[in-house]
Each structure stands twice: as structure tokens, then as C-alpha cells.
Amino acid sequence: MNANKQHGVLAGTRIAVDIGSTVVKIAQIGERGELIAQNFYPRDFDAGIARQVESLLEELGVAKDHDDVLVCSSANGGLRVGIVCLTEHFSGSILRNQVFQAGANPIFVREIDEHGGDPSPVDILLIGGGIDCEDAAPLENRLRRFKPECYRFGSMVYAGNKHLANVFLDVFPKAVVIPNPLAESLSSRTSSVFETVRRAYLDDLVYKEGVSELRSNLSRGIRPTPEVVNRGFHRAVLNCATVQVVGACILLDIGGATTDLHYTVEIVRDDSAVRPPGGSSVARYVFTDLGIMASRDSLLLQMRTHPRLYEFLGAVLDEDVREVYRLLREGEYRPSPELLSYGCVFLALDRFAQGRGPGLPTADLARAAQIILTGGAAQVLVEDVVARVVRSLLSDGGTKPVVLIDKHYQVWIDGITWSGHASVS
């Protein structure tokens, strides 16, 4: 599985490491951001992250004191965050935006008075909303009526009106209080939620996956991989990256646990009930139930029950479409990783076109001039087949977007090496 193996590192080059759930990726990058070499290694779960990564770097000739090693990880599948709003959903979109920026996965957005809560398990339950104003009696009443037992969570964080923080702690003394991201206005200038979630994401990686055992020059600057990919996409949209983006674009990062959707905001339909947050040219959404390994069962269920399954199979398969259709419907077919990856593309774009997902806008796929596919599961795909899948979702006369498969993970490289600011959603 190794490619372009190097036995020494040139002076002035940078090393980038991505620790995934199943694969460790190491790239050697030149001074101008060009890819010199890239290697892929199956995760050695017996050795553990620290021992494996450090031994791989040593094997590639990277000195222990090399001061330009960039590390990111998605080894734990991403932090799951549930959002409960004290006010209307505007506050929820602000909170969700900062959770996305931190590389975590917002699982749901609910209002505090919604009956039944949400049974989806999350690592963090984030309660917030409202600006910092002293006259907040209605919100206080809503807080006191809140029933956290209607949710399944690991920890609870309050990020709402600061004048109600003590009330919240009185009722829920084990909660953590952080600054209100809306402060005294609706400007959302502060990034308390982003910093808290990002820190929790990294702690989740550190303590569950052993990243903390990496030597200090490797572990101190680690980033979540979704954040890195989003930065790479944003950089491409700004025309300062290796990957060229021309016109409205959709990027799908397909992995074992999730499929991440990144898109330019002009793709959103004018009549979409959900809008991406203002002030940004790109946005992001995570399909936590679309992945070819950890989310395989939920992916298969959605493929099997989709009303356009036969049409999808006709676009992907060269033969035996009818038989595969029958076996899939009956739950007796074991699809290849390739078919599962195409399934992620089909379902993600179909759901985006219909706005089927909490907080997901409705897209006009005909506006897309380009579709980029990246991630481990995308490497087995073929552009022409992806184009057929996309055409099956477009109405007659729709624009046929150009399909690009990021075979060298260049979006990841552009993101992890970028020092610029990525204001993403």
C-alpha cells in the first residue's frame, strides 16, 4: 500500500501526518507546497499510534527533532455534539457553525422546550442561545424546566446568556460554563464554542486513541482532519491552492465512518428553508450515517430502501443490475467497497438536493460546475461512473459538472500547510 517511498527527507521540506481510523498517511511536502512523496500504512492497533507513527517517521528518515511535522487525526471518528437552543433556531445555526469549524459533528439541533428530547448519543450536549441581557426571566423559566434525562450525552456545556450561568449551575452543578458566543449582540464574533469543542475533540483523540503518547513536537499542534480538509477546500475556492476550483463546487470527503459535504454557498436553492450562515463563501455538513466501514450498516439500509436504487445501480454497474437489485433489496448481497463508495456519493447528493438532514440546506445540483471527491473511500472511484451517478440525480437539461477525484489527497495537503485564515461553516 506504500507509494513513492523515501529513505531520507530533503532539507526545507515539511512532513504531514494524517492518523485515520484504518490508515496512517505521511506526506513529504516541498517549500512551495508541492507533493514530493506520499506513503500509506494500515493502522497497527497492537503497536498503538505513538509507536507506529514514530517508527514510520524514523523509517522515512525524519529526524526526531524535525521541527516542521504537521499532524491531524480523525482516528476516533469525530466528536458528536448535540445542540439545545434557549431561543429560536438562529442561535442554533451560530452554535452549529462553530461546532463545524472545530471539526466536530453536530448530530441534532433542538429547542429547549421540545418534548421527548433526542435519543441520539452525543459526546457533548451544548445548551446555548440568547444575547447577554439581564432581563431574562422567560429564559430562566425555560432553563429550570429543562430535562437533560431526555438526552444521551457524556458531558453538558452551557454557552448561553451569561446572566443565567449561575442559575444553570445551580440546577445542573456538573455542567461546564463557557462564554456566550453571541455576547451582547448577534455578531457571533467570539469563538468560545469553537475553542471548547475543538479542545474536546482533541482530548477525545488524545485519551481514546493514544495520541498523547506521541512525542511533544508531534502532538502539540494536532488538528482534526475535517477542519484541515475544510481549510483546503476554502483555500481552493480562494484560488490559492494546488486544486483548481472553477465556479460553484461540491466536495465530498468519503471515509469509513462519515461522508463530509463541503460546498460553495451559491449552490443553495433560493427557496431553501435552511440557509448557510452569512458571511462565508463555503459551508460544510456531515452525514454521520454514510461511511463504508463504521457506518456500513446504515449506508446499506438506505441504499436498500431507496426508491431509485435500480436507477443508481444502472449508473454504476455494467452487468447483472437486475440480480444485484434483487439481492440488495432482500438483504442478501455483500457489496464491494467500490459500490459502497458510490452509494455514499449518490445518497449524499440526493439528500443535499432535497435538504434531508437537520440543518442541511436544499441544493440546486444543476448549479454545480464541479464535484471533487476526496478521502480514502474515494480512491477506488472512477470519474466517468461518478458523472453517471450525478446525471441520474439531475433533471433534464441540467448542467453536467466536471468530476475530479483527488487521488493524491491534495485538498488535505493544501489545508494542513495553509497558514491563512479559513472562515468556514
Q: By the 8 A CB rule, do 231 and 415 touch?
A: yes
Positive or negative torsion for Cα 354, 359, 365, 367? positive
Residue with cell 454521520: 288
**393: DSSP letter:** H
pLDDT in tens, the chain (425 residues): 444 444 455 566 889 999 887 789 999 998 888 889 999 998 888 888 888 999 999 998 888 877 788 998 876 666 788 999 887 656 777 788 778 777 677 888 888 888 788 988 888 899 887 777 777 677 788 888 888 899 999 889 998 888 888 888 988 998 888 888 776 554 444 467 877 876 776 676 556 666 767 887 787 778 888 889 999 999 999 998 889 898 999 999 998 888 999 999 999 999 999 888 777 899 988 887 888 987 888 899 999 999 999 999 999 999 999 999 999 999 899 999 999 999 999 999 999 999 998 778 999 999 999 999 999 889 999 999 999 999 999 876 566 899 999 999 999 999 999 977 544 44
**282: DSSP letter:** E
Q: Where are the alpha helices (DSSP H) in 177-308?
A: 192-209, 216-219, 225-237, 296-305
DSSP three-state, residue 199: helix
What is the C-alpha to C-alpha distance for residues 153 and 171, in angstroms, rounded to an integer? 17
Burial 271-303 (b: 16+ CB within 10 A, else e): eeeeebbeebebbbbbbbbbbbbbbbeebbebb
- The amino acid occupying position 100 is F
- pTM metric for this prediction: 0.76
Nearest to 25 by CA among 36, 38, 6, 8: 38
